[in-house]
């Protein structure tokens, strides 16, 4: 069993309220969930207007598939024009890594 996750640090464009920030982030989180069948959520910077953290996680039996999906998710986040991906911190773990 392989477990992988990425935490994205994002700088948002012109957002003037937390409600507007959520209206930008919610569709992205939903698209990540739907397109890649993984868990995704806003995980930090909830009180900051122009910064966001989004975390995604996936469990699978194949390391190559896991890396492929995480790479594709990172490309999707980086491609959104209304935000700038500042960093992506990634971890992979094997169930046998005790």
**Residue range 32-71, pLDDT digits in tens:** 999 999 999 999 988 889 999 999 999 999 999 999 999 9
Closest Cα to residue 6, out of 78, 86, 87, 64?
A: 87
Write down the pLDDT at residue 46. 87
Distance CA 45, CA 4 (A): 22
Distance from the Cα of residue 55 to its chain's centroid: 4
Q: What SS3 class is residue 80?
A: coil
Give me the pLDDT at residue 98, please: 57
- Kindly report the average pLDDT of the chain as a whole number: 93
Phi then psi dihedrals of residue 81, to 5 deg: -70, -20
């Amino acid at each position: 069993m392989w477990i992988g996750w990425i935490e994205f640090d994002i700088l948002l464009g012109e957002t003037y309220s937390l409600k507007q920030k959520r209206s930008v982030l919610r569709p992205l989180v939903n698209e990540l969930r739907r397109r890649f069948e993984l868990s995704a959520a806003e995980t930090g910077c909830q009180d900051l207007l122009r910064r966001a953290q989004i975390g995604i996680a996936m469990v699978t039996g194949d390391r190559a598939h896991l890396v492929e999906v995480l790479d594709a998710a990172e490309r999707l986040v980086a491609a959104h024009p209304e935000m700038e991906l500042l960093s992506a911190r990634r971890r992979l773990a094997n169930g046998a890594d005790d």
